[in-house]
C-alpha cells in the first residue's frame, strides 16, 4: 500500500535536550477526561453552570466552540481556570463535523441533547489515532431507552420526540463514553434506568456528583451498577472538576524515568493505586502529602510488566509512559494492551530513539538500554506525544517531537511546566515538515 505524503509549513514541535533530572513541584489541574463531559452535561439545564479548576487545554477550547454552536454562551477564563456555560431554553441539536472530527469526546453531547431536545445529530467523531472505538454500545443503549438511532450522511442521528423511557441496559464492556451518554440521557427519562457493567472511572464519579447537584437521582456511584430515577427538570450548578489522574501520573513517570524528585500538588493517589504499585515496583519511592504526593525516582528504574485494563486496572492512557520507562530500565518487561490496538503506533517512534521494543499482537516486549539517543519523532496522539517528550529527557542529544498540537490537547503548556522542573524543553516551529 502506498501512503500519501503531505508537506506543510509551520508545524509546531517540542525540542527536548536530554540529560535532565526533573526536580521541583508541579500542580495538577482538573481532569481533561472529566471536564469535557461536565461541559456537555451542562446542556441538561437551562441557565448558567460554572466549572472550576478547568485545565487550559486545546480540547476545552474545542468543546467551548461546539457548545457555542449549539446556542450556548460560553465564557472561558483561561488564566483563572473557570468556564461558564449559559444554556438557552432550546439548544440546537446538531454537532458539526469540523469540530467533532478534531475531538472524539464531542460524542458526549449525544446523551444530553437527546434527553433535553428529543433529538441529536452528532457527526461521527475523529480524535486520537489509537485504534477503533465503536459506537455500538452508545447506539444500543439509547435504542433501549426508546430513541430511534441511525447513521445518516456521516451523522449519528438519535430521535426521541416523546422522550426517553427508563429500562435496564447491560453493557458488554464497561465503556466510559457509553456509560456517560446513557447516564446523561437517563437523568431526564421517565422511570428508572439501570446501567449494568458501567464504567467506574473517577471521571464517571465526578459526572455523577455534578448530576446529583443539578437535581438528578443517581445511586450506585463508583460501582458497576448505576440506578437512575428520571426527573422532569434539572438546574444549573457550580462544580469543581476532579484532579487529572493521567496528568498526575505523567509527572510521576517523569520523576521515575529521569531519576528525579517531583512533588505533585493536587494529585490523588487514591485514583492511581495500580499505577503507584507499578512505580514502586520500578524502584521509585511514592509518599503521600497533605495536598498531593511525592515521587523520587531511582538511579535507574527496574523493568515492570503491565497489562492495561478498565478502571481500577492500569489505564491505557499511561501505556506509552510504561514503555518509555521500560526502554531505559534494568531488565526486560512485557507490556500488554487490552483496550486500543493502535496504541503501539508509539513504538515505531520511540524505537527511533534507540528503544528495543518488539510488538507481537497486543503484546510488546521491551528490553531496557542504558540510554536513548536523540532523533526526530512524531506524536500520533496526546499521550504518545507526552511520553516521547519524557523519553527525550533521557536521550543523548536534542530530540524534536513534531505534532505539539496533540500534546496541547491534554497538557497546558507542558514545555513551561517542564522548564520549571529543570528540563530544557522549548516550543519551536518547523519551517517544513513531511507527514507520511
Task: Decide if 128 is catalytic.
Answer: yes
Residues contacting residue 80 through CB under 8 Å, at least 6 positions apart: none
Are 41 and 112 within 8 A, CB to CB?
yes
Are 233 and 215 within 8 A, CB to CB?
yes
Kind of pairing, strands 238-240 and 47-52? parallel
Tell me how far apart the terminal alpha carbons of the chain are, to the nearest angstrom: 12
**Residue 325: which of 282, 360, 287, 365 has the closest Cα?**
282
**Residues constituting the chain:** 436
**Residue 288: which of 274, 304, 273, 299 has the closest Cα?**
273
Are 99 and 36 within 8 A, CB to CB?
no
**140: exposed, middle or buried (Cβ count in 10 Å: 0-12, 13-18, 19+):** middle
Say whether 302 sits in a helix, a strand or coil: strand
Residue 236: all three cell numbers together? 444549573
Helices (H), 5-91: 32-41, 58-69
Catalytic residue (one of 59, 121, 128, 206): 128
Active site residues: 128
Amino acid at each position: 500500500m502506498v501512503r500519501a505524503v503531505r508537506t506543510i509549513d509551520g508545524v509546531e514541535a517540542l525540542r527536548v535536550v536530554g540529560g535532565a533530572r526533573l526536580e521541583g513541584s508541579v500542580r495538577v489541574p482538573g481532569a481533561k477526561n472529566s471536564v469535557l463531559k461536565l461541559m456537555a452535561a451542562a446542556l441538561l439545564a437551562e441557565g448558567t453552570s460554572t466549572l472550576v479548576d478547568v485545565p487550559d487545554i486545546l480540547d476545552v477550547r474545542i468543546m467551548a466552540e461546539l457548545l457555542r454552536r449549539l446556542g450556548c454562551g460560553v465564557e472561558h477564563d483561561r488564566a483563572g481556570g473557570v468556564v461558564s456555560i449559559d444554556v438557552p431554553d432550546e439548544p440546537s441539536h446538531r454537532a458539526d463535523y469540523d469540530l467533532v472530527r478534531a475531538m472524539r469526546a464531542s460524542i458526549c453531547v449525544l446523551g444530553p441533547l437527546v434527553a433535553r431536545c428529543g433529538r441529536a445529530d452528532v457527526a461521527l467523531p475523529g480524535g486520537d489515532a489509537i485504534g477503533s472505538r465503536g459506537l455500538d454500545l452508545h447506539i444500543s443503549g439509547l435504542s433501549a431507552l426508546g430513541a430511534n438511532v441511525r447513521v445518516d450522511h456521516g451523522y449519528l442521528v438519535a430521535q426521541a420526540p416523546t422522550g426517553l423511557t427508563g429500562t435496564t441496559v447491560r453493557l458488554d464492556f464497561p465503556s466510559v463514553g457509553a456509560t456517560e451518554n446513557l447516564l446523561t440521557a437517563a437523568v431526564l427519562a421517565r422511570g428508572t434506568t439501570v446501567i449494568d457493567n458501567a464504567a467506574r472511572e473517577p471521571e464517571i464519579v465526578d459526572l455523577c456528583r455534578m448530576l446529583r447537584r443539578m437535581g438528578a437521582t443517581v445511586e450506585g456511584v463508583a460501582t458497576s451498577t448505576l440506578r437512575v430515577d428520571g426527573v422532569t427538570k434539572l438546574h444549573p450548578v457550580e462544580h469543581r472538576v476532579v484532579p487529572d489522574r493521567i496528568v498526575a501520573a505523567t509527572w510521576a513517570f517523569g520523576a521515575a524515568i529521569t531519576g528525579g524528585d517531583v512533588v505533585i500538588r493536587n494529585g490523588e493517589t487514591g485514583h492511581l493505586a495500580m499505577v503507584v504499585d507499578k512505580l514502586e515496583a520500578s524502584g521509585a519511592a511514592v509518599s503521600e502529602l497533605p495536598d498531593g504526593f511525592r515521587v523520587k525516582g531511582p538511579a535507574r528504574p527496574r523493568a515492570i510488566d503491565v497489562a492495561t485494563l478498565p478502571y481500577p486496572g492500569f489505564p491505557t492512557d499511561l501505556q506509552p509512559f510504561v514503555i518509555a520507562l521500560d526502554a531505559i530500565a534494568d531488565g526486560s518487561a512485557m507490556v500488554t494492551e487490552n483496550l486500543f490496538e493502535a496504541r503501539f503506533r508509539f513504538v515505531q517512534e520511540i524505537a527511533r530513539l534507540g528503544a528495543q521494543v518488539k510488538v507481537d499482537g497486543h503484546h510488546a516486549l521491551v528490553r531496557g538500554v542504558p540510554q536513548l539517543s536523540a532523533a526526530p519523532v512524531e506524536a500520533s496522539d496526546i499521550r504518545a506525544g507526552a511520553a516521547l517528550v519524557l523519553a527525550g529527557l533521557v536521550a543523548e542529544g536534542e530530540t524534536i517531537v513534531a505534532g505539539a498540537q496533540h500534546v496541547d490537547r491534554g497538557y497546558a503548556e507542558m514545555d513551561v511546566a517542564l522548564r520549571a522542573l529543570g528540563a530544557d524543553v522549548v516550543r519551536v516551529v518547523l519551517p517544513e515538515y513531511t507527514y507520511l
